[in-house]
Structure 1
Amino acid sequence: MKTCLVVDDSKVIRKVARHILETLDFTVREACDGQEALQCCLESVPDVILLDWNMPVMSGMDFLRALRDSDITQRPKVVFCTTENGMAYIRAAIEAGADEYVMKPFDRETLASKLQIVGMA
């Protein structure tokens, strides 16, 4: 079964994402900020990460850079999931190592298509 780490400081977003991902046959873990997400990845690397941009402690961009600089050899796919929709944000996320980008609020169909694009569906 594929694994997904949902990283978002909103409990509601994590719950919605978990529900959608579980209907898509993913095993889901959650983290409320980038620091917790990095710790989760060091313990067990997920297949894909659904990553929020704006979070306390460690932002999504800082997490992405820390993940890239870590000793983890198996690179998970990363789908940025945020309200930031400017082209500059999208470009910055892709340049930092994100594989895809999804806007909040998202639905099952949108998330499923993004996961398919990154080879996880």
Structure 2
Amino acid sequence: MTRCLLIDEDGMEADRLQSLLGALGIDTAKRAGAEDALAYCNDNAPDVVLLSAVGASERPGDFVRRLRRKVGGKQPVVFLYADTPDTEMIGQSILQGAADVLMKPFDHDILAFKLRQAGIVG
């Protein structure tokens, strides 16, 4: 089964995304902050990480860089999702290793399309 780590401080948004991911057959763990997320990745090997750009304690690109350094072996596919198209933040996140950015609001079909593009779901 595909495993996803969802990092979002907004519990309601995390619950909504967990429901969308569950409908795609993806097992999802939720974490609110970067340190908890990195600790989770040490003990588990998620296939994909969805990272909210809103309310993050650090810039998303910095987190992606830290994740890439910390996780050995198989690297998860990282998607950033955001409310506004901050081109600097998006560019830095992609330069540090994020696969793509989802602009909110997005629905089941858009999420499924992006995950198919990345080879996460069939």
Contact 2:60 2:89 in 1 (8 A): no
| Paired positions, count | 121
Residue 40 (structure 1) aligned with residue 17 (structure 2): no
Name the stretch that deviates more: 11-20 or 103-112. Answer: 103-112
Partner of 1:115: 115
Give the % identical residues: 29
Change (3 A) 1:84 1:35: farther
3-state secondary structure, aligned to 2:106: coil
The aligned amino acid for 1:115 is: L
Structure 2, unaligned runs of 5 or more: none
Residue 19 (structure 1) aligned with residue 1 (structure 2): no
Q: After superposition, give the CA deviation of every residue in 1:39-65 in whole Å (9 maximum; x if it has no partner).
A: 110110100001112334444333211
**Aligned residues: CA RMSD:** 1.5
Change (3 A) 1:71 1:114: closer
3-state secondary structure, aligned to 2:6: strand
Structure 1, unaligned runs of 5 or more: none
Q: Give the TM-score of the pair, scaled to structure 1.
A: 0.91
Partner of 2:105: 105
Q: Give the TM-score of the pair, scaled to structure 2.
A: 0.90
Partner of 1:88: 88
The aligned amino acid for 1:92 is: Q
Cα distance between partner residues in 1 of 2:87 and 2:21: 27
The aligned amino acid for 2:85 is: N
Q: After TM superposition, give the deviation of residue 71 of structure 1 in Å.
A: 4.7
The aligned amino acid for 1:117 is: Q
Cα distance between partner residues in 2 of 1:59 and 1:82: 12
Q: After superposition, give the CA deviation of every residue in 1:11-46 in whole Å (9 maximum; x if it has no partner).
A: 011100100000000011001011111111011010
